[in-house]
Amino acid sequence: MMKIIVIMLCAMLLAGCAPAPSGSADPHGPEAVEEEGQEDGRKSSGQDDLDVMEPADGEPAAPEEPEPRAEDAGDMIFTEEECENAIGRLLDSEPVHPANAELLKEMGQIVTVSKVIGAYGEIFSKMDNEKRARLRYQILSDVMWGGPEFENAIDIEPAEGRYEADGIADLEDAEALFRDVYGEEHFTPAAYERAENGKLLLSFADGDPWVLAEHVQFFEDDLFYLLSGPAFYEDNSGATEYEGYVDILLARNPDSRFGVTLLYGRYRDVIVPVVSVETSTEQPPSGNKTYSGANLVDGDPETVWAEGVPGTGVGETVTLHLDKKRPVFGVLITNGYTAGYDLYEKNGMLTAVSVDFGGETVEAEIPEGYGYEGYSPEDLAECNRSRVELDEPVVTDTVTITITGARKGTKYDDTCVSELIVY
């Protein structure tokens, strides 16, 4: 699991689809999967352009506003609506491979790790000071420990003598850096930021990262760059949560040392629709429970697909049929029977898969998850998710998962999977 070092300036922030006919049944029958009682908006992808009022008869037409030029972008003040419209237009264009892709990706990572985007979009320079402080911490963290684009952007010296801090930066240098990165015009220290005698005092600590997927797409026009792709929260315990797609809009800005300035960010709820699930085999129903492929896409960690052949099911397949051909980045697998700890322990789970994304195949090991007595189905699911991703997104309407490795449970050898999400 990737571990990202973050900068904190204060202790507060440390606290702060129908299945196909099933195959042959397992010799030990429906009882193989042991039964027990079950434990009991974000923004759209864009907005229409603003309407233009026609002048009334006899009234002179208002002079047309000049089209904004690329060199003006750094000085323009954009509204949230204008940012949303820009994102919508860019998402309707073709992806590009800009020369500054690594810089854009690093700036996007600063945003996701700082956790400043909530349920609604954010203009970074207009956020409240607590959020801007989190963004500032991560900017300085990237200077110290991040990628090459921000390395040594300003000098940070070790703190000595009377300073109870890990490092010291010149305040004017830090303010200029914040202005270049996200357009902050007037730096005001937050409650636990320490600025003394023209110096900014810094403290460093480990933190749990947000992860921006490596395989993002880029879009651009004369004014903007857009970074867009699936984003996940992962922490040092191994828990994984899919956050949807993140869209990060940057303005071209010749006045910034980076040539761009972070402008606006948002998350979109994006799960690729699955209309049907085809399995090579599955356990027959038992009582009021089913073990069909449809359980893989119902959003419920208490339902499960269980293969139905002798042994651990190596070679068995699950095919997800999408609603249409779409760009697909990967699949998120919730491994094991996560309805309860006893079921999780007694039944088998994946150790390796081969995933065919409409002709592009990825071989992947599935890391072993974990669970403890008292964990809810949601807790178990969170600790047993794995991503299988492509290097580049592909357009497809099917995703086929083949079991290439599996391990037995403490009582049964049936391989179980609780959920699949295509993104």
The pLDDT confidence band at residue 236, using thresholds 50, 70 and 90, is confident
Which comes out higher in pLDDT, residue 104 or 56? 104
101-115, 133-147, 155-169, 407-421: the lowest-pLDDT one: 155-169
Domain end (from 244, 268, 292): 268
Give tens-digit pLDDT for 253-278.
Answer: 999 999 999 999 999 988 899 999 99
For residues 104 and 134, give the distance between their C-alpha atoms in angstroms, rounded to a whole number: 19
Q: Which residue has the tokens 């893989």?
A: 296
Averaged pLDDT of the chain: 83
In a domain, 6, yes or no: no
If you average pLDDT over residues 405-414, what whole number do you get?
97
202-231 average pLDDT score: 86
Same domain, 300 and 193: no
Are both 164 and 123 inside the same structural domain?
Answer: yes
The predicted structure's pLDDT at residue 207 = 66
Average pLDDT over residues 407-415: 97
Q: Which of 15-29, 290-304, 335-349 has the lowest mean pLDDT?
A: 15-29
By CB neighbour count within 10 A (0-12 exposed, 13-18 middle, 19+ buried), where does 208 fall? middle
Residue 7 has pLDDT above 50, yes or no: no
Has residue 20 been placed in a domain?
no
pLDDT band at 206; cut points 50, 70, 90: low
Q: Of 61-65, 351-355, 404-408, give the lowest mean pLDDT range.
A: 61-65
In a shared domain, residues 252 and 264: yes
287 plus 316 within the same structural domain: yes
State residue 248 phi and psi, 5-degree precision.
-120, 115
Pairing verdict, β 199-206 and 167-170? antiparallel
In degrees and rounded to multiples of 5, residue 336 shows phi and psi of 90, 175
The confidence score (pLDDT) of residue 106 equals: 94
- State how far the Cα of 241 lies from the Cα of 423, in Å rounded to an integer: 13
Q: Which of 61-65, 135-139, 194-198, 203-207 has the lowest mean pLDDT?
A: 61-65
Task: Determine the pLDDT at residue 213.
Answer: 73
Rg (CA), the chain: 25
58 part of a folded domain: no
Position 36 in a domain: no
Report the alpha-carbon distance of residue 67 to residue 224 in Å, rounded: 14
Residue 381: CATH number of its domain:
2.60.120.260
Question: What integer is the mean pLDDT of 325-352?
Answer: 97
Q: How many domains does the chain have?
A: 2
Q: What is the pLDDT of residue 302?
A: 97
Cα–Cα distance, 209 to 200 (Å, whole number): 24
In a domain, residue 63? The reply is: no
Contact 34, 347 (CB under 8 A): yes
Full-model pTM: 0.76
Cross-strand bridge partners of residue 233? 210, 241
pLDDT, one tens digit per residue, over 26-83 is 333 333 444 443 333 333 333 333 233 333 444 444 444 444 443 344 455 899 999 9
- Report the 10 Å Cβ neighbour count for 291: 26
Is residue 21 situated within a structural domain? no
Q: 198 and 185 share a domain?
A: yes
Question: Distances in Å between the alpha carbon of 136 and those of 158, 183, 370?
Answer: 19, 11, 35
| DSSP code at position 30 | G
Domain that holds residue 303: 271-422
Are residues 151 and 255 both part of a single domain?
A: yes
- Alpha-carbon dihedral sign for residues 317, 322, 325, 328: negative
pLDDT of residue 208: 63
Identify the CA nearest to 384 among candidates 408, 367, 401, 399.
Answer: 367
Examine the domain organization and report whether 167 and 277 are in the same domain: no
Rounded to an integer, the average pLDDT of 334-362 is 97
Q: Same domain, yes or no, for 241 and 128?
A: yes
Is residue 65 included in any domain, yes or no? no
C-alpha span between 110 and 138 (Å, rounded):
6
Q: Is the pLDDT of residue 241 over 90?
A: no
Cα(370)–Cα(332) distance, integer angstroms? 17
**Complete DSSP assignment for 250-301:** EEE-TTSTTSEEEEEEEEE-----EEEEEES--PPPBTTB---GGGGGSS-T
Please give the pLDDT value at position 75. 53
**Do both 107 and 130 map to the same domain?**
yes
pLDDT value at 329 more than 70: yes
State whether 148 and 224 are in the same domain: yes
Confidence tier at 399 by pLDDT (50, 70, 90)? very high
Q: Which two tokens stand for residue 340?
A: 């309860």
Intra-chain end-to-end CA distance of the chain, in Å: 20
| 237, 268, 299 - which closes a domain | 268
Of 215, 236, 268, the last residue of a domain is: 268
Name the range with the highest mean pLDDT among 11-15, 53-57, 85-89. 85-89
- The pLDDT of 406-418, averaged and rounded, is 97
The mean pLDDT value for 180-209 works out to 87
Average pLDDT over residues 10-20: 34
DSSP string for residues in 311-352 = TT-TT-EEEEEEEEEEEEEEEEEEES-TT-HHHHHHSBEEEE
CB 266 within 8 A of CB 378: no
3-state secondary structure of 77: coil
Query: Percent of the chain beyond pLDDT 70?
Result: 81
Distance CA 183, CA 375 (A): 44
Q: What is the Cα–Cα distance from 310 to 244, expressed in whole angstroms?
A: 37
Q: Is residue 105 a part of any domain in this protein?
A: yes
Q: What is the pLDDT of residues 285-309, one digit of tens each?
A: 999 999 999 999 999 999 999 999 9
Q: Are residues 127 and 263 in the same domain?
A: yes
Question: Do 251 and 358 fall within a single domain?
Answer: no
